[in-house]
Amino acid sequence: MNMSQRPKSSFVQFKSLILVVLFAVATIASNGISAQATDTVFSVQEKLMGHTSSTESLVISPDGKWVATGGWDRKILLYSIDTLGMFKLVKTFTGHNGAVTCLTFDAASTLLASGSKDFSLRVVNVLDGSLVFQTMDHLDAITAVEFEATGKFVMSASMDGTIRLYDIVNPTNNQKPRFYTYGKPVNDLITAPNGKTFFVANNGNNNVESIDFTGKVYQTFAGVHTMPVNCLGLSNNKRMMVTGGNDKSVVVWDIATEKPLKTLLGHTWKVNSVAFTKNDQYLVSTGNDGEIRVWDVNTGVCVSVQKNLISTAKEARFTPNNKLMVVAGKMSAQGATFGAIVYRTPPIWTEAKPAPVKPAPVKSATPARPRK
């Protein structure tokens, strides 16, 4: 072989190797095994300041007219959202004697339930500010609150290992408490698509279980997370669940088959919250690493990473019209300033079609036969 041809041959081989590596990286990213972020496409609209210590919880009402944030300062700040997407602080709720750890609205967007590290559960009317219900039955911090579909009942879960159900319309019915002793500290809880069972993430193992108040286990989502699951989210089409773990991973599950659809990697610390957009095409995850990651549900690719403004990102939610994303946490660039950041999403999002992921059909509203 002519020695003068070797450099050219080596260059061709090197070029081919680079192409192979690039193809492999792209393939891995598309399968959700790893997530390589693209340039950020979100812009900061405004910052919601008002808390005097770390903001722990956040929720957006189903009608998109309200945002509530809860903090270590024991306060709940309620903001209205006008038709132009601008925010205004309208009410401040007090009454908790510990950090406000979780918040949720009822389906009518008029009642707001909150749980706290002081073991208390409170329900207020956001229209007139009145206290509708309160109790302090738990023996440890409340980690999740959920309304059932009619708004008549509210459910709370706690680190004390119990899940409790309360009638807030006829409180006298609570004289015989309805609760289930789960036995393991509950990290998060959401109602299952059938409306009769609920998904539970606990601090005792790495699984998520679907159970009812008798303790029967109907489904188990296991085999992916290597540390306890910290947070849960349900898709709006009721076919997918997303979980975030202390192992830094985010997993999208097919509810009907109990199988993972995507495993999303990128966070460098535990994941604090996960949530789908209204059309289920994207989801957001937040972590103790201060990163706010937005993922394409179909491809598993991380399409945006927001960081530097928040040192610890606690919770993120999208407005129903997909135009805004609100994130609660501690602002790293503002010194000792606490609250939430409102981001404008890419304009194309308002035109986005529903996610093409097609899991198996949802099972009937009647729970499946319990597993032995």
Q: pLDDT by residue (tens digit) across 255-302?
A: 999 999 999 999 999 999 999 999 999 999 999 999 999 999 999 999
Question: Residue 131, SS3?
Answer: strand
Looking at residue 241, what DSSP letter applies? Answer: E
Tokens of 166: 């309360």
Domains defined for the chain, CATH in brackets? 38-351 (2.130.10.10)
DSSP 314-348: EEEEE-TTSSEEEEEEEEGGGSSEEEEEEEEPPGG
Helix (H) or strand (E) segment spanning residue 162 = strand 162-167
What span, in angstroms and rounded, lies between the C-alpha atoms of 239 and 257? 10
Residue 139 to residue 137: CA distance in whole angstroms: 7
Report d(CA 96, CA 86) in Å as an integer. Answer: 28
Q: What is the three-class DSSP state of 349?
A: helix
Could you give the percent of the chain with pLDDT greater than 70? 80
Task: Look over the chain and give the mean of its residue pLDDT values, rounded to a whole number.
Answer: 84
Short-list 140, 136, 146, 133, CA closest to 106: 146
**Gap between the Cα atoms of 359 and 250, Å rounded:** 18
Q: What does the pLDDT look like over 196-234, one tens digit per residue?
A: 899 999 988 999 999 988 889 999 999 999 999 999 999
Which of these, 304, 143, 125, lies nearest to 134 by C-alpha position? Answer: 125
Better pLDDT: 31 or 347: 347
Indicate the burial class of 315 (C-beta count within 10 angstroms; 0-12, 13-18, 19 or more): buried
Q: In this predicted model, what pLDDT tens digit does every residue of 43-95 receive, in sequence order?
A: 889 999 889 888 999 999 999 999 999 999 999 999 999 999 999 999 999 99
Rounded to 5°, the CA angle 292-293-297 comes to 145
pLDDT tens across 297-333, in order?
A: 999 999 999 886 777 889 999 999 999 999 998 765 5
Average pLDDT rounded to a whole number, residues 150-157: 92
- Render pLDDT for 10-21 as a digit per residue (tens, 0 to 9): 544 544 544 444
Residue listed under structure tokens 């957006």: 60
By the 10 Å C-beta count (0-12 exposed, 13-18 middle, 19+ buried), 162 is classed as: buried
Per-residue pLDDT, 195: 87
| Res 238: pLDDT | 95
What pLDDT, on a 0 to 100 scale, did the predictor assign at position 353? 52
More confident residue, 194 or 175: 194
What's the pLDDT band for 174 if we cut at 50, 70, 90? confident
Q: 130-153 burial, b for 16+ CB within 10 Å, e for fewer?
A: eebbbbebbeebbbbbbbbeebeb
pLDDT band at 27 (very low <50, low <70, confident <90, very high): very low
